[in-house]
Amino acid sequence: MSKKKVSLKDIAQKAGVSTALVSYVLNGKEKESRVGQEIAASIKKIAEELNYQPNYVAKSLRSGKTHTIGLIIADISNPFFANIARIVEDEARNHGFTVIIGSSDENADKSWNLLNVLIHRQVDGFIIVSSENSEKQIYHLKDKHIPFVLLDRHFSEIQTDFVTVNNYKASYDAGTHLIQHGYQSIGMIAYKSQLFHMKERIRGYLHSLKENDISFYDNWLQEVRFNYIKKEVKLAIDAMRSSEQPVDAIIFATYGLAVNGLKYINALHLKVPTDLAIVSFGQAEGFDLYYCPITYLRQPIEDLGKTAVELLVKKLKNPEQGMQQILMEAKLMIRDSSRRKN
């Protein structure tokens, strides 16, 4: 025999209040309807005890809202994005939203397919870590008046809400740190990409050399393709080491590049930092487990994820909300891999 579904009326009877009052509290409107804190807490407790499950289908039919957010991230295998997804999910839940997550694998076609699937699922809005060549998708959302916030990456030529890191400054700080620690031949391995955040990381690196009067050699900057990362990172390191001025330090523009680079550096029996100093973007346990803890640029993952959700929720509640573009700072965490050169 199937168990009777608990209704708002059941909770109201047990709490000794009206059904309308229960509805206000469970829809997060107790402040608007001036319900006392004790009564609100009591209603929530009773709902939990009775294992009340809201009927989202009926609710969405009434309101035209599904209380779901589509999150499209670039690469779920990257710990940075996996952590971002967890934070977005937790923060969205605090606001009464469920998150549907998809990974574009840095592929614009896959991102477009995900976007369409989620639009048909009638998500209320999107948080997107954009892949390359996905500008049309952003214009599509703007044209359709579907609320969205770009996270970690944005397009400089498109006016959108975004939450990202000051990538230029982070990279500049990494280069300056290595120079101050006695390194004079600093290379960078980045992705071959037109994405603004990657261009900014390269710009910051080059500016740190220029500002410290260090002559730049073309072989010092290596750009590899995402789909050929293992092979091309090896070729990049070989090219840097065989340069007329071989590098004594490398900045990796992402965690994925760093992991592949460090594997190859180990295979070459090079010692970090004696033979090569290392600084990388992105934090992960792997950097602690390496025999020489890696200096890295710590992005404020929690603040990035929470702020993106807060911006989107504000937009959903008030479509006239003005555009917000938030730039956060990454912090250089100095470890053994970039210790002062002897």
- Taking only the tens place, the pLDDT of each residue in 163-182 is 999 999 999 999 999 999 99
- Dihedral in degrees, nearest 10, Cα atoms 70, 225, 174, 198: -50
**Domain residue limits at 24:** 8-54
Asked whether residue 267 is domain-assigned, the answer is: yes
Asked whether residue 284 is domain-assigned, the answer is: yes
Q: How confident is the model at residue 22 (pLDDT cuts 50, 70, 90)?
A: confident
325-328: strand order across its sheet: 98-103, 68-73, 125-128, 148-151, 162-165, 325-328
Asked whether residue 142 is domain-assigned, the answer is: yes
Q: How confident is the model at residue 52 (pLDDT cuts 50, 70, 90)?
A: confident
Question: Does residue 308 share a domain with residue 294?
Answer: no
Question: Does residue 307 share a domain with residue 294?
Answer: no
Asked whether residue 1 is domain-assigned, the answer is: no
**Does 33 have pLDDT greater than 70?**
no
d(CA 229, CA 253): 13
d(CA 216, CA 184): 10
Question: Does residue 97 share a domain with residue 183?
Answer: no
Domain count, the chain: 3
Question: Does residue 286 share a domain with residue 179?
Answer: yes
Quick check: 30 and 40 in contact, CB under 8 A? yes
Asked whether residue 155 is domain-assigned, the answer is: yes
Question: Does residue 295 share a domain with residue 173?
Answer: yes
Quote the pTM value: 0.80
Question: Does residue 105 share a domain with residue 184?
Answer: no
Question: Does residue 142 share a domain with residue 104?
Answer: yes
We report the CATH number of the domain holding residue 81 as: 3.40.50.2300
Quick check: 111 and 137 in contact, CB under 8 A? yes
Q: Burial letters for 20-39: b for 16+ Cβ neighbours within 10 Å, e otherwise?
A: ebbebbbeeebeeeebeeeb
Asked whether residue 62 is domain-assigned, the answer is: no
Question: Does residue 276 share a domain with residue 234?
Answer: yes
Question: Does residue 249 share a domain with residue 154?
Answer: no
Q: How confident is the model at residue 14 (pLDDT cuts 50, 70, 90)?
A: confident
**Does 265 have pLDDT greater than 60?**
yes
Asked whether residue 265 is domain-assigned, the answer is: yes
Question: Does residue 131 share a domain with residue 180?
Answer: no
Asked whether residue 257 is domain-assigned, the answer is: yes
Question: Does residue 21 share a domain with residue 79?
Answer: no
As a whole number, the mean pLDDT across the chain is: 91
Q: How confident is the model at residue 204 (pLDDT cuts 50, 70, 90)?
A: very high
- What integer pLDDT is reported at residue 1 of this predicted model? 43
We report the CATH number of the domain holding residue 25 as: 1.10.260
Question: Does residue 285 share a domain with residue 188?
Answer: yes
